[in-house]
Amino acid sequence: MEPPFDKLPGVLKTISGYAGGKLKSPTYQDVSSGTSGHLEVVEVTYDSDKITLKKILETFWRNINPTDAGGQFVDRGPQYATGFFYQDEEEKKVFYESKKEHQKFFDKPIVTDAYKLEKFYPAEEYHQDYYKTNPIRYKFYRYNSGRDQYLQSVWKK
């Protein structure tokens, strides 16, 4: 999920990581087991003078299947469910407005929800910028995941 955000003017950086669980300092092994309560997430740092949260959320919706509670494409399990972690009530409000606006694009109800961010844990270094450090593997995974085909079918409408 880093690539679509990294392309946006005003996004300063993205960091792959984990949020939402109770385990302190989770590892990839902890999270990938599906039992830690964490979601695999991307922290997006941006310049609010150059891009709005609304625009970032539009990119978010256009790169996920928000109607699938069981994960994303070939990645199955609770750790792959979609979610938005907000820092304050304004971010929460913008999320729910955006969710309502985007429901019309989907045949099923959006199940993606918002959660108060308690703590973000950066993922291990080998997960950071994976699409840049392992471009062939990333492209192979991405194509075979079915993500691009799904997104094209939804956003072609």
Mean local confidence (pLDDT), 46-59? 99
Using pLDDT thresholds of 50, 70 and 90, give the confidence band for residue 61.
very high
pLDDT in tens, 123-132: 999 999 999 9
Give pTM, 2 decimals: 0.94
Q: Which residues on neighbouring strands pair with residue 14, listed in sequence order?
A: 44
**Which residue type is seen at 79?**
Q
pLDDT in tens, 2-13: 999 999 999 999
Q: How far apart are CA 96 and CA 98, in angstroms?
A: 5
Helices 89-102 and 53-61, interaxial angle, to 10°? 40
Q: How far apart are CA 13 and CA 11, in angstroms?
A: 6
All structural domains of the chain, each given as residue ranges with its CATH number in brackets, are 2-155 (3.30.1060.10)
